[in-house]
């Protein structure tokens, strides 16, 4: 899809999986192995975001159809776990939120990724030595 809007006219919000939706504390263990829980607050955020955006998940795992199935199964199980522990959304009234899984990176209005920096239009803002020091949120020590 070349447009950053979905068929419903909502802009596409592309979400990375590992380190964004999946806590990824255990690190990479294979394309179909997803060992950790969902990041705190994800389902509450998702229920609101889905009112404004077409949610598309794209991951380095996405090139493997079995990995997409694993992400779908994991996400469903995590939502059930969240609901079992009292998670409820006044926005969706318990209805499932529509999420798409892409096998190619979509043309998105915006992407949320734990391993990205926003380009400022100036390459001088990105000294290679500083980029080598980059750490995603879950590797920076104390969590906020």
Per residue in 84-103, pLDDT tens?
A: 888 777 666 666 789 999 99
> Domain for residue 3, yes or no?
no
> Domain for residue 72, yes or no?
yes
> Domain for residue 51, yes or no?
yes
Number of domains in the chain: 1
Per residue in 28-79, pLDDT tens?
A: 999 999 999 999 999 999 999 999 999 999 999 999 999 999 999 999 999 9
Instruction: List the domain range (segments joined by +) for residue 66.
Output: 12-139
> Domain for residue 66, yes or no?
yes
For 101, the enclosing helix (H) or strand (E) is: strand 99-101
Residues whose CB falls within 8 Å of the CB of residue 78, separated by 6 or more in sequence, listed in order: 37, 38, 43
Say what the pLDDT of residue 1 is. Answer: 43
> Domain for residue 5, yes or no?
no
Cβ atoms within 10 A of the Cβ of 34, count? 24
């Amino acid at each position: 899809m070349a447009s950053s809007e979905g068929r419903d006219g909502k802009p596409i919000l592309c979400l990375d999986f590992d380190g964004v939706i999946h806590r990824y504390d255990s690190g990479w263990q294979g394309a179909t192995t997803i060992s950790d829980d969902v990041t705190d607050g994800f389902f509450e955020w998702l229920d609101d975001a889905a009112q404004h955006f077409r949610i598309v998940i794209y991951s380095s795992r996405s090139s493997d159809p079995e990995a997409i199935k694993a992400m779908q199964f994991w996400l469903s199980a995590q939502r059930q776990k969240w609901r079992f522990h009292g998670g409820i959304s006044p926005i969706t009234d318990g209805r499932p939120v529509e999420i798409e899984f892409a096998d190619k990176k979509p043309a998105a209005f915006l992407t949320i990724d734990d391993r990205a920096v926003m380009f400022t239009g100036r390459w001088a803002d990105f000294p290679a030595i500083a980029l080598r020091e980059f750490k995603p949120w879950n590797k920076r020590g104390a969590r906020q």
